[in-house]
Amino acid sequence: MPAQVDDAEILSKFRDEKTRNEAFNLLLKKYQQKLYWHIRRMVIDHDDADDLVQDTFVKIWKNLPGFRNDAQLYTWMYRIATNECITFLNRKKMKNNVPLDDVAYELSDTLADSSYFNGDQAQRKLQQAILTLPEKQRLVFNMKYYDDMKYEEMSEVLGTSVGALKASFHLAVKKIEGFLLSKD
């Protein structure tokens, strides 16, 4: 795996008209899989995740010229991806005229039917437990459990205080632990 280019270098190249496309290619190579998995864990279905990751990078391309260094590049991109996921789930809820909790049931069915899931029984059970969480707790748990993101970084992504995120994560883990213990 080639050494990844630093975000500052990518941004510098992007500001130059001549190296803008090169900079964006570097950005894609560095973050496309991270963003894809972040999205995939939220929407479960691969095709939905594929659409959303492409939409996310289109928005990144459009808005990157206006990006300021007051935030980290990758947390800024995570924020865009997260908003795409939330918009998608809300649209799904309105389209089917069901509460958001029922969307979680649909996602659970999608997980059960998905051909792109090769986890064992415990992993499947963990995913089902995660889908029982409210949307924000799911986001916090996934970013902590799979991406091992710091609370400060999550705070930039979600626009929530570190304390609130810690509380959310604590609640989420407790629920998941309870789910794993109570169900076979």
Partner 1 sequence: MNSDKGKREWMNDYLSLKQVNPDNPFTVPEGYFDSLEENILSKIRLEELKNSIPQTGFTVPENYFDDLAQNIQARINIEDAADKEDAGFTVPGDYFDNLPAAIQSRIFVEESLDQHSEGFTVPEGYFENLTGKILNKTAAEEKQEQRGVVRRLFSSVAVKYAMAACVVLAIGGTIFLSENNSSPVEAHNNSFLHKSLASIPLDDIQNYLQLHLDANDDTHALMDETKPADADNLSNELKNALDTTSQ
Residue whose token pair is 């309870």: 178
Residue 72 binds partner 1, judged by CB under 8 A: no
Residue 147 binds partner 1, judged by CB under 8 A: yes
What distance in Å separates the CA atoms of residue 60 and residue 66, rounded to the nearest whole number?
Answer: 10
Residues 6+ apart with CB under 8 A from 102: 93, 96
To partner 1, the closest distance from the beta carbon of 20 in angstroms equals: 12
Q: Name the token pair of 164.
A: 């609130």
Among 13, 38, 138, 144, binds partner 1 (CB under 8 A): 144
Residue 16 binds partner 1, judged by CB under 8 A: no
CA nearest neighbour of 42 among 120, 136, 124, 114: 136
Residue 166 binds partner 1, judged by CB under 8 A: no
What distance in Å separates the CA atoms of residue 50 and residue 37, rounded to the nearest whole number?
Answer: 10
Residue 106 binds partner 1, judged by CB under 8 A: no
What distance in Å separates the CA atoms of residue 166 and residue 155, rounded to the nearest whole number?
Answer: 10
Q: For 148, how many CA atoms within 13 A lie in the half-sphere containing its CB? A: 0
To partner 1, the closest distance from the beta carbon of 42 in angstroms equals: 11
Residue 28 binds partner 1, judged by CB under 8 A: yes
What distance in Å separates the CA atoms of residue 76 and residue 153, rounded to the nearest whole number?
Answer: 10
Residue 119 binds partner 1, judged by CB under 8 A: yes
Scanning 5-13, 97-105, 117-125, 156-164 for contacts with partner 1 by CB under 8 A, the matching segment is 117-125
What distance in Å separates the CA atoms of residue 157 and residue 77, rounded to the nearest whole number?
Answer: 8
Scanning 4-12, 63-71, 87-95, 171-179 for contacts with partner 1 by CB under 8 A, the matching segment is 171-179
Query: Which residues are near partner 1 by CB under 8 A?
Result: 24-25, 28-29, 32-33, 36-37, 40-41, 46, 50, 53-55, 57-58, 61-62, 116-120, 122-127, 144-150, 153, 173, 176-177, 180-181
